[in-house]
Amino acid sequence: MTASSSELLARIRGSRRELARLLTRVENDQAVAELNELYPYTGKAHIVGITGAPGTGKSTLVNALAKHYRVQNRTVAILAVDPTSPFTGGALLGDRIRMRDLSGDPGAFVRSMATRGSLGGIARATADLVRVFDAAGYDLIMIETVGAGQSEVDVARLAQTTLVVEAPGMGDDVQAIKAGILEIADILVVNKADRPGVEATVRALRAMLDLGHRAERVAHHGRQMKVDSAAPVDEFAAWIPPIVQTVASDDKDEGIADLAHKLEKHRQYLIETGVLKYREQARITLELEDRLREVLLQRLIAQVGRAQIAALVQQIVDKRESPGEVIATLLARSAESAETRG
Amino acid sequence: MTASSSELLARIRGSRRELARLLTRVENDQAVAELNELYPYTGKAHIVGITGAPGTGKSTLVNALAKHYRVQNRTVAILAVDPTSPFTGGALLGDRIRMRDLSGDPGAFVRSMATRGSLGGIARATADLVRVFDAAGYDLIMIETVGAGQSEVDVARLAQTTLVVEAPGMGDDVQAIKAGILEIADILVVNKADRPGVEATVRALRAMLDLGHRAERVAHHGRQMKVDSAAPVDEFAAWIPPIVQTVASDDKDEGIADLAHKLEKHRQYLIETGVLKYREQARITLELEDRLREVLLQRLIAQVGRAQIAALVQQIVDKRESPGEVIATLLARSAESAETRG
């Protein structure tokens, strides 16, 4: 532990304003050194992803969970990621509700990330923000996303435990299926469980789970030979996602204690079976590859120059060179440039 | 035109079996040289993307469009991309229907791509398959995807004209909004227009379009200063996506001629305004960046070695080094390796 890192650590643990400032620098990709310094102090938080379609009461549920943890004197950070298009307005995550209930509580921190840039960029920034919260000492970090596709899957990969939230009577019974996010669920929550149709939703989810469980087993057996020997043998068989019914609203909080208990159980399962380390390894590998792709591309652009690349794009558009030929050219130039420098 | 490329061209134009074989090699990323050879012969086809939720009758509609073009003696290739999870079974695109109607017709070619690997890999393979069809001389190439998120957006980017298909009474009125795919639509199709609720669906779509059109104009004005001077001034203002009502089923084909007419009109608009070239440039830039990211990563892995990378991942998992530190290490090693070689 260097003096500077323990100082930085003390600063973000001691001051919400310092923490908020660092989060902003991280989001703007201006805190590489700080992230390096803080990294050794990460790894203690329980990182939970919460996703689901708009209208399932996701934000209110996150809020209720946060309050439950606060009563037990555990600290909570909420990171709301909203990768929606300008079309839907982007205000789907209920910040105002949360602000009202949690503001002024020094053990809770709420941060919204207005998503700019690419999907990959969002996932990278989210990973870094979570690490800052983790180093800052928050016990529970909840990442909340709107369930609308690949971005959720990417963000959910960052979580140790992923909740998929449904609600009865949302038209198509089970929204999660369409987005293909059911398979990332560690715990399924049917929120607004005091509404009519709750039994049908639970039944539909259970049927999907049974189907999925079988499919996963088949997939698992199919690739068994290729599986890393370090993989815990019963990763797929051991945890069957429970379905928890909740009612989270202004005047009711039902099933929240049960949900918190299931969260704890899942974390225990992850640690005791070794699945946590195994998944962490897989996740870090993906993250490293993703960051390298981006860094290597930026290095090549710097080596070759944007004008040169634009000229080559024009060659492709004009059908004078194929994409494959241009890539070969660029790789050769980047190798030359490395040699000249060396 | 080299002898070998015109020979290859003659082979895939003359033999369906040769074409099918090349498509398989392209899908398996084993045809870099062939793609380079064929590239100069691309650029003549109208590339149309069709997306929409399951249940909208997308496949039947694609089939009806194909038959309409065949009656006019124009050749059609259909590429069905199904990026669904094992959960949904993956058999959502109605191959059997198509096979029955189009098999034996030498002017139509149907190809399904069972999606393996990453989303990026799917988009890259789709781009290459479309180029083979284009060089092979097909007038219309339809790329059909299940509307379920980012993969559709990526695949739709390959198309010159994108159809988003809706149907009345699908629970939530307008499915496209959730997936955020309305903004990629050049033409909106309300299929199954003989069903109750069609007026409500059309009304909802029109309202969304009005909203979206305004949002785009605002976004357009916001970035006007940064816009490339080569951009056609009225790209956003000039084309307002029409809403076309169709009934495509076994015994009825209503609105198909109208839809084909709108497709043609959109293509004319793209060509006459210069938007086609402009979009092609943007698309090629993205494709090039995407392919470079992947190629550069693979080169670095080859330089450093998989075992070394696995060891560094373990360092991160054990909190001994941060992702940022490992990336710096890997970049330095890859630079050294380039120098040693040079």
Over residues B252-262, the pLDDT tens digits come to 889 999 999 99
**CA separation for the pair B191, A97 (Å, rounded):** 40
**Smallest Cβ distance to A171: which of B150, B172, B327?**
B172
SS3 A224: helix
pLDDT of B126 strictly over 80 = yes
Tokens of B263: 């497709």
Q: Which amino acid is at A92?
A: L
CA distance B16 to chain A (A): 24
φ, ψ of residue B90 in degrees (nearest 5)? 80, 5
Q: Nearest-CA distance from A40 to chain B in Å? A: 5
| Preferred mutation among A30, A145, A150 to probe B, highest tally of B CBs within 10 A | A150
φ, ψ for residue B112 (rounded to 5)?
Answer: -100, 140
B328 has a pLDDT exceeding 80? yes
Three-state helix/strand/coil letters over chain B: CCHHHHHHHHHHHHCHHHHHHHHHHHHCCCCHHHHHHHHHHCCCCEEEEEEECCCCCHHHHHHHHHHHHHHCCCCEEEEEEECCCHHHCCCCCCHHHHHHHHCCCCCEEEEEEECCCCHHHHHHHHHHHHHHHHHCCCCEEEEEEECCCHHHHHHHCCCCEEEEEECCCCCCCCHHHHHCCHHHCCEEEECCCCCCCHHHHHHHHHHHHHHHHHHHHHHHHHCHHHCCCCCCCCHHHHCCCCEEECEECCCCEECHHHHHHHHHHHHHHHHHHCHHHHHHHHHHHHHHHHHHHHHHHHHHHHHHCHHHHHHHHHHHHCCCCCHHHHHHHHHHHHHHHHHHHC
CATH class of A42-274: alpha beta
Domain boundaries, given as residue ranges, for chain B:
42-274, 305-341
**Does the beta-carbon distance from A212 to B39 stay under 8 Å?**
no
pTM of the model: 0.80
> Which value, in Å, is the radius of gyration of the alpha carbons in chain B?
23
The interface predicted TM-score (ipTM) is 0.83
Give the residue from chain B lying closest to A211, CA to CA: B87
d(CA A297, CA A316): 19
Q: Give the three-class secondary structure for A18.
A: helix
Whether A297 sits inside 8 A of B300 (CB atoms) is no
- Asked if the Cβ–Cβ distance from B342 to A330 is below 8 Å, we say no
Are the CB atoms for A128 and A26 separated by under 8 Å? yes
> pLDDT tens for residues B228-250?
444 454 444 578 899 999 999 77
CB within 8 Å: A149 and B179: yes
Q: Is the pLDDT of residue B342 over 60?
A: no
Per-residue pLDDT tens digits of chain A, which is 342 residues long: 455 557 999 999 999 999 999 999 999 889 999 999 999 999 999 999 998 877 788 889 999 999 999 999 999 999 988 655 443 444 444 454 555 667 778 899 999 876 555 666 778 889 999 999 999 999 999 999 876 566 667 777 789 999 989 888 765 545 445 446 677 889 999 999 999 989 988 988 888 777 765 555 444 443 333 334 444 544 445 788 999 999 997 778 899 999 999 999 999 999 999 999 998 999 999 999 999 999 999 999 999 999 999 999 999 999 999 999 999 999 998 877 766 654
**Which residues, including other chains, have CB under 8 Å from residue B93's CB and lie 6 or more apart?**
B58, B59, B80, B82, B112, B144, B146
Q: What is the pLDDT of residue B264?
A: 97
CB contact under 8 A, B323 and A291: yes
pLDDT (0 to 100) of residue A253: 86
Q: Which residue of B has its CA nearest to A38?
A: B322
Q: Which residue of A has its CA nearest to B44?
A: A319
Choose among B84, B182, B288: nearest Cβ to A87.
Answer: B182
Cβ separation A284–B342 shorter than 8 A: no
- CB pairs A-B closer than 8 Å: 192
- Test B297 with A296 for CB contact under 8 angstroms: yes
pLDDT digits (tens, 9 = 90+) for B140-178: 999 998 765 666 667 777 899 999 898 887 655 454 454
